[in-house]
Amino acid sequence: MSEFISLALFLASIGIYAWKAGRNTWWFIATLLVLGIFIVLNITLYASDYFTGDGINDAVLYTLTNSLTGAGVSKYILPGTGLVLALVAVFGTLGWVLRRRRHLPHHMGYSLLALVLALGSVDASPAFHQITELVKSQSRDGDPDFTAWYKEPSKTIANPKLNLVYIYGESLERTYFDNDAFPNLTPDLGPLKDEGLDFSHTSQLPGTDYTIAGMVASQCGIPLFAPFEGNASASMSSFFPQNICLGDILKNSGYENYFMQGANLRFAGKDVFLKSHGFDHLYGAEELKTTVADPSYRNDWGFYDDTVLDETRKKFEELSKSGKRFSLFALTVDTHHPDGFISRTCERKKYDINGKTNQSFSAVTCSQEHIAAFINKIKASPYFKNTVIVVSSDHLAMKNTAWDELNKQDRSNLFFVMRGDQPQQEVIATKRNTMDNGATVLDILGGDNFIGLGRSTLSGQSLSEVFLNMKEKILAWKPDVIRLWNFPKEMKDFTIDQQKNMIAFSGSHFRLPLLLRVSDNRVEPLPESEYSAPLRFQLADFAPRDNFVWVDRCYKMGQLWSQPLSLSTDWCVSQGQLGGEQTVQRVDKDQWKGKTAFKDTVINTDRYQRNVDLLKVVDNDIRYKADSFVFNVAGAPEEVKQFSGISRPESWGRWSNAQLGNEVKIEYAQPLPEKFDLVITAKAFGPNANKPIPVRIGDKEQTITLGNDVTTTTLHFENPSRSNTVVIVPPDPQSTNEGNILGHSPRKLGIGMVEMKVVQTGV
């Protein structure tokens, strides 16, 4: 109903303004802005619902504020492009309609009425209500009975005897196994489910409905509710640091914990979560590409399930033969929405429903074949008698091409267990949820029968049985769960660890580099990631009086506020206000301790604007005082007018990048001397080594030869034409991800530039 009211108010606002309000620039801008907010809100709702099937929820909030590295986005490019084009068209049409009768005199009353109706349309929209509720849910007091139901398990298993193999099937919910609804969809994995303990009534709760959230729920017994502090959770080096999770207990009990998947581990912070909770051996798209038989055999997300499960099988055999106690977790990806992927080794490559082949169902029938084959190989091995196999969905399927058919059924998550030491065959219909999965596994392995809010279904009572409406209870506990992040509210003393590239304060640890906005009762961390702006650009958005602490490479802030540090690549700490005073300190110890000291100074508007302008200068336009081109810092010496063909600074220097230009070209502001030495410190990449590399000054050309290690070469040039440009042409640029930022397209590397100096001779 609210959708129709919101839309009616929206259309009424347009009609009244367009036909009655007349001409006034400011009222036009205000009305267009509010109507534009209505449009953006509803497009956001539509786009979120396209992914989640549940509108704007915690999954959307968490995913957009965390790492998107490795996300398989190609299937969303077409609908995303369509949305952008539709947005442009709607805004253009809206502006045209509102100005239809601009020749008429302005009428204040109708303008005000149109604006009020526009505001009403926003307030009545479901998207606004969902976003408002998400924000409010972060600041409530929580429920006083949380501590009574949240239980921390023992950190060890007294006498562990069994190894663990845990398979997360991406979106592989139990609904797919209903043979009456979907005949012969799971002919391989279904019978295996029936051989074990089949928990048939596993529901999904808020905060457990996407992959990383499902993993947290199953291992820590809590939903994934993250602090809404900008990119707070993305910048933290630990994940629910106070919680004891299944991986922690296994590690403390002598297990070596392994995790394998085909996608990038960075996506959604899975690497941070797993490393924070007992997993020392992680394999994702980047780690597997050097071990798999065919690194080019990939889908949008990473390696196909047949590849990943084959590598997992090899690891199972290797670990079993070694006699080590281990857990081996694997996550599939081929059944990922919107329609999944079909691997080339599947015998069952398609599934028809209602007379038509359905891609999502086809992906399910293909993937279950690989999972079943993997399990059967373990069962056939001599090591099965010491092994527990768990198969579960990470969450219910999101909006995919099977969505309409799934929603006709009573949906539940998959969770079944096969014990090699003690075969059991039973369907357990107890009401439960995915937070109970880890506690049930821990119980089987000989540990406690509870983890967090999870309870073992074999010897405990699920909270889904205790509370009539578990969904409402979980949402009431949301602030209590967020507090488990131990997110700091103040910053006074801090420590920088140079070995680990970390900063610690108020009991929390964050990765460097980092920018923090510090106020009396709030600390907002702003990390630098592959999808966020550089920290200096983020700092430029601070208000004049905002207190900041900025930890980064010295040259980035030295070029602004401390010239002696403008070429240093050490860590530095800057703090102050953009409109007041700023200090810069070099971190000169492995464990460097600092204090926040914000002075209550008079804010200078001119100083603030000057700082903002300097912070917004792009890297290639930065200029520093030096007698040589130092390539491991941003910018160039003052004498250089412009340069091209060079990639970003790294700790040692910069690579040439043929994606940016086939040659390295450095143009000086003034003509170069008639006679000079060009001193080049550099190295070659791959096959560029030991090949002649042309170096041109005007019409004069010489060559240098570089190896894979850094060397210094001096070339003697005569420059009668007084050319002002140095051109270096790498002979064989190579496309590679070597040293690249995860998620960025490959670079074409040729030579690595460390330093270049022009020394005048013959004066």
The model's pLDDT over 671-695, given as tens digits with 9 standing for 90+, comes to 999 999 999 999 999 999 999 999 9
Could you give the percent of the chain with pLDDT greater than 70?
A: 87
Q: Report the distance separating Cα 442 and Cα 423, nearest Å.
A: 17
pLDDT digits (tens, 9 = 90+) for 72-112: 444 445 555 666 666 666 666 766 666 666 566 666 777 78
Query: Which range has the worst mean pLDDT, 37-41, 351-355, 547-551?
Result: 37-41
Amino acid symbol at 445:
L
Q: Report the distance separating Cα 464 and Cα 430, nearest Å.
A: 9
- The CATH code for residues 623-760 is 2.60.120
What is the pLDDT, as a whole number, of residue 32?
Answer: 75
pLDDT of 518 strictly over 50:
yes
Q: Report the distance separating Cα 432 and Cα 436, nearest Å.
A: 7
Query: Which range has the worst mean pLDDT, 123-127, 557-561, 575-579, 634-638?
Result: 123-127
pLDDT category, 53, cuts 50, 70, 90?
Answer: low
Q: Is this model's pTM higher than 0.75 or not?
A: no
pLDDT category, 587, cuts 50, 70, 90?
Answer: very high
Higher pLDDT, 17 or 499: 499
Q: What SS3 class is residue 71? A: coil
Q: Report the distance separating Cα 585 and Cα 500, nearest Å.
A: 19
What is the pLDDT, as a whole number, of residue 70?
Answer: 45
Domain with CATH 3.40.720.10 in the chain: 161-197+207-422+469-483
Q: Would you say 168 and 331 are in contact if contact means Cβ atoms under 8 Å apart? A: yes
* Mean pLDDT score across all residues of the chain: 87
Check whether domain 161-197+207-422+469-483 has CATH 3.60.15.10, yes or no: no
pLDDT category, 133, cuts 50, 70, 90?
Answer: low
pLDDT of 154 strictly over 50:
yes
| Cis amide bond preceding 338, omega within 30 | yes
Q: Report the distance separating Cα 370 and Cα 364, nearest Å.
A: 10
Averaged pLDDT for residues 383-408: 94
What is the pLDDT, as a whole number, of residue 69?
Answer: 45
Q: Report the distance separating Cα 163 and Cα 181, nearest Å.
A: 35
pLDDT of 43 strictly over 80:
no
Q: Which of 659, 709, 666, 673 is nearest to 688 (CA)?
A: 709
Averaged pLDDT for residues 208-226: 92
Q: Would you say 9 and 95 are in contact if contact means Cβ atoms under 8 Å apart? A: no
What is the pLDDT, as a whole number, of residue 254?
Answer: 96
Distance of CA 330 to the CA centre of its chain: 20
Amino acid symbol at 569:
T
- H or E stretch including 356? strand 356-357
pLDDT of 54 strictly over 80:
no
pLDDT of 486 strictly over 90:
no
* CA distances in angstroms from 200 to 214, 218, 413, 438, 462, listed in the order given: 17, 16, 8, 16, 14
Q: Report the distance separating Cα 148 and Cα 439, nearest Å.
A: 17
Averaged pLDDT for residues 615-635: 92
Q: Which of 207, 188, 199, 237 is nearest to 134 (CA)?
A: 207
